[in-house]
Every structure is written in structure tokens, then in C-alpha cells.
């Protein structure tokens, strides 16, 4: 396929839906790629037996509503349907090419299929961040993982924090978010204090454990490594402060099981 040199872009939204492991009502994670006249190849990791939904959106009026073509270079590793549903079949690598039918614009996703569950580093690779940091939160393990991009553009895990997540009925929501506003402290409904909050989404925050009013030493609830909150992510005071001080607004946050 011959790709002509143009400046117009197409945005491809990759909606990740692990049907084998995630309930249908769960929110799907998403990754934004860019289709252009000279497409690069970006890695994406999937576990054998899982699926990912590819959807294309054309930025130029000429391509509004156009159908895209999907091709897998190795159908033994992964297949892709005419609607862009990729199914990981066996361990290995393949390249999923997505392009307009006239062949002018496209993108490539280098798909790596593994037999085992994704490692933390592999999962982190599946998401972009508008800052040099990414945060992954494993609800089942009650762990927060901080990644930072070094001067060579390589993402490295630099911090691992234990945490508290939401109790059954008030779960910390799975999904893909970006950090928003921050604050030094807020008062709970019982008049206690939580320090160094960073907003994840809506009313869900990273913040410290619960302290008596105005205190940073007298802990009211020192729970850690359990699911007992109303949905916020509680951290040790020093860890909440580190996120508050170091993580820029707009940092990608991925919450999963």
C-alpha cells in the first residue's frame, strides 16, 4: 500500500475490553493513537484469549463516516474483524494495520500477545500520558505504581505505594483518568482531616489516611492494604504528599483489578 505524504490526521480510539476477565458492565480502558500519512508502529500488549476494539475517527471532512480497513500480519497470533475487533489467539507478535480504503492514511499497532497476565510494565505501556508520569492502581493488590519517562523516552517504575481502596458497594471505579486539582487538606463528614489530596475523577481522590482535626500525627483510621473507603484511595501521609508535590495535573491514572 502506497502512503502519500499529507498533513491531515485521523484519530484512532483503541477501546480495550478484556471480555474474558472483565464483567460486561465494567468501564473499558482507552488509548489514543494517531493515524497519519507516514504511520509509526506503537506496541500494545494483550493476554491470550482477550479482545480489543479498534475504532477510527477521521479528522478531515472528506473522510467523515468513512470505513476503515483492518489487517493482521499474523493471523495465527491475532485476528482482526472488519469492524476492528482484535482477538489474541496465541503467544507471539503481529502488526495490526488500520487505514482508509484509499490508502492515504493509516496507523500500525505492534501487538504482543502473552500467555500470562500482563506485567505492570506491559500494562503501563498500553497508555499514553500528557506528562512524564503515569499512575497505575491495582485494586486487588492494594498497590499504586508510579512510572516516569526518562530522558531517553523509556518508562520506568520509580515508586510503589500500598493503599486503601473502596469497600464493596463504594468501590474505587475502574477506568482511565487524568489527575485534576489538588489541595492541602479537606474535612471529612465527621470533622476529621485528610491531607494532601489529588483528584483522580469526580469525588475520587488520592489522599492521606484519616487524622483528627488539624493534626498530622494523631491517626483516626490507620487502615492500609484493605478495601474499606468510600471510594477514595488512601495512602500513608508521606506517599500522599509525594503525589501532591510531584505529579502534574493531567497525569494518566489507570485503575484496574
Total-model pTM? 0.77
Weakest mean pLDDT among 14-23, 26-35, 89-98, 152-161: 14-23
Over range 158-170, report the average pLDDT: 98
Question: Sign of torsion, CA 71 31 148 157?
Answer: negative
Task: Name the phi and psi angles at 241, rounded to 5.
Answer: -65, -40
Q: Which residue has the higher pLDDT, 253 or 43?
A: 253
- Collapse the DSSP code of 74 into the 3-class scheme (helix H, G, I; strand E, B; otherwise coil) and give the result: coil
Write out the three cell numbers for 148: 516516569
The parent domain of residue 252 ranges over: 133-256
Q: Is residue 23 located within the same domain as residue 82? A: yes
Count structural domains, the chain.
2
Q: Which of 41-55, 81-95, 233-247 has the highest mean pLDDT?
A: 233-247
- Given 82, 117, 152, the domain boundary residue is 117
Antiparallel, parallel or unpaired: β 106-114 and 133-138: unpaired
Last residue of a domain, one of 117, 148, 177: 117
- CATH number for the domain that contains residue 235: 2.40.440.10
Q: Give domain status of residue 128, yes or no.
A: no
Nearest to 9, CA basis, from 47, 49, 29, 36: 36
Residues 110 and 175 in one domain: no
Q: Residues 85-137: pLDDT tens digits?
A: 889 999 999 998 888 888 877 778 889 999 999 999 999 998 889 999 999 99
Amino acid at each position: 500500500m502506497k502512503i502519500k505524504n499529507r498533513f491531515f490526521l485521523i484519530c484512532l480510539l483503541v477501546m480495550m475490553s478484556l471480555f474474558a476477565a472483565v464483567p460486561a458492565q465494567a468501564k473499558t480502558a482507552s488509548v489514543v493513537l494517531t493515524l497519519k500519512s507516514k504511520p509509526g508502529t506503537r506496541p500494545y500488549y494483550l493476554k491470550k484469549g482477550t479482545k480489543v476494539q479498534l475504532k477510527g475517527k477521521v479528522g478531515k471532512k472528506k473522510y467523515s463516516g468513512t470505513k476503515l480497513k483492518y489487517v493482521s500480519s499474523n493471523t495465527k497470533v491475532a485476528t482482526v474483524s472488519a469492524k476492528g475487533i482484535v482477538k489474541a489467539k496465541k503467544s507471539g507478535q503481529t502488526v495490526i494495520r488500520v487505514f482508509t480504503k484509499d490508502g492515504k492514511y493509516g496507523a500500525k499497532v505492534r501487538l504482543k500477545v502473552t500467555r500470562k497476565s500482563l506485567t505492570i510494565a506491559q500494562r503501563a505501556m498500553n497508555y499514553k500520558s500528557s506528562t512524564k508520569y503515569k499512575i497505575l492502581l491495582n485494586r486487588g493488590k492494594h498497590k499504586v505504581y508510579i512510572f516516569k519517562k526518562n530522558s531517553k523516552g523509556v518508562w520506568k517504575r520509580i515508586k510503589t505505594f500500598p493503599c486503601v481502596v473502596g469497600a464493596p458497594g463504594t468501590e474505587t471505579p475502574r477506568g482511565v483518568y487524568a489527575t485534576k486539582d489538588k489541595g492541602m487538606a479537606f474535612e471529612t463528614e465527621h470533622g476529621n482531616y485528610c491531607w494532601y489530596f489529588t483528584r483522580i475523577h469526580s469525588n475520587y481522590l488520592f489522599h492521606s489516611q484519616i487524622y483528627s482535626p488539624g493534626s498530622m500525627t494523631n491517626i483516626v483510621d490507620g487502615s492500609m492494604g484493605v478495601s474499606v473507603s468510600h471510594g477514595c484511595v488512601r495512602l500513608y501521609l508521606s506517599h500522599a504528599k509525594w503525589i501532591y508535590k510531584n505529579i502534574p495535573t493531567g497525569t494518566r491514572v489507570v485503575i484496574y483489578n
